[in-house]
Amino acid sequence: MDFALTEDQQALVAAAADFARAELMEHAAEWDASSHFPLDVIRRAGEAGFLAIYTPEERGGLGLSRLDASLIFEQLSQGCIATTAYLTIHNMVTWMIANWASEAVRERYVEAMVTGELLGSYCLTEPGAGSDAANLRTRATRDGDHYVIDGSKMFISGAGSTEVLVVMARTGEPDSGASGVSAFVVPADAEGVSYGKNEDKMGWKSQPTRLISFDGVRVPAENRLGEEGEGFRFAMKGLDGGRLNIASCSLGAAQHALQLARDYMLERKQFGRELASFQALQFKLADMATELSAARLMVRQAAWKLDQADPEATAWCAMAKRFATDVGFKVCNEALQLHGGYGYIREYPLERLVRDTRVHQILEGTNEIMRVIVARRLLDDGVVEALQ
């Protein structure tokens, strides 16, 4: 068992770290304060290959593993958590279209999404169906060679600034559950698509979050991903990777916070001594580093399980997402505490790290839902033994 990164992975880490320093870190506070969505920087991320990390090479992507993607997102998020989080969403949308769209739709969208000419949003959550995603009510009704979509989606990242929507809608009976959900590629400017206000959020301010309404939106039948009824399965496959992606963003945020806390402890003096000389604070720093290292190992193991198509990959991803996002927020919060009053003011990045990581415990499935996923699998025969 070799935990060392390969030379190629070390090169990916270095490239992502360079991009974070050059394009993200110096601007993150300004983007947060002004709620600016840095489209120009996002498109430059496309030039670097970061918009199609695990999209297959034959579709123009890098064709990298989920483990490679985790390494990249961990580095990028040390520059700007909110912008990197959007990059993870665009990667998921591009991957879904590249894998399950018709050839005509792939040709129309994928190349432009790889480069960043077109940006994507993932539309699953609804005002009445958050954690209970299989109970969604947005409907797609077949009408000849088209579907007509009616309904609404809530908390959609990038909405209003992106060009491509992957929309989950019900094609089966109202009570058909997950088996009645299909997925569609919808142009963001299609007639009948409208957008709500940019939500005033606690964090993730450098990416817009809006409600999207669909009122008689007509899309060609060829825009459906896969067959009718396969949409929820595609959504869940996307979320396995999405949970690792957001967990990786938490790792990067926590790593940044840990470094800031260490540096501050070496610089700041109280009672005539450096903070670093107080054993209680040394122990706190040690615990932060230990828990972060444990979370990183869990995320990388889950990513490897997903790459290997392990039959319990969903449970591994859920466990890693729950643990890493809890630890990420905790480490950022502890780093703020070590900064005292300085951590609470915007001159220092700690308060932004805390605000931006808090939502990671909610999105891509709340951490309570992660526990449900894991517990249900553990209650099946043989799974406890398999998860070791």
Q: Residue 364 catalytic?
A: yes
**Exposure on the CB side of residue 72, measured as CA atoms within 13 A:** 27
Q: How far apart are CA 261 and CA 332, in angstroms?
A: 9
- Which residue do the tokens 């579709």 mark? 59
Contact between residue 120 and residue 89 where contact means Cβ atoms under 8 Å apart? yes
Contact between residue 198 and residue 35 where contact means Cβ atoms under 8 Å apart? yes
Contact between residue 192 and residue 215 where contact means Cβ atoms under 8 Å apart? yes
Q: How far apart are CA 299 and CA 254, in angstroms?
A: 14
Residue 214, both tokens? 């669909």
Q: Which of 103, 347, 364, 385 is catalytic?
A: 364
Q: Measuring CA to CA, how many Å separate 250 from each of 71, 279, 310, 321?
A: 12, 27, 24, 9
From 76, 89, 64, 239, select the one nearest 161 (Cα to Cα): 89
Catalytic (active-site) positions? 364
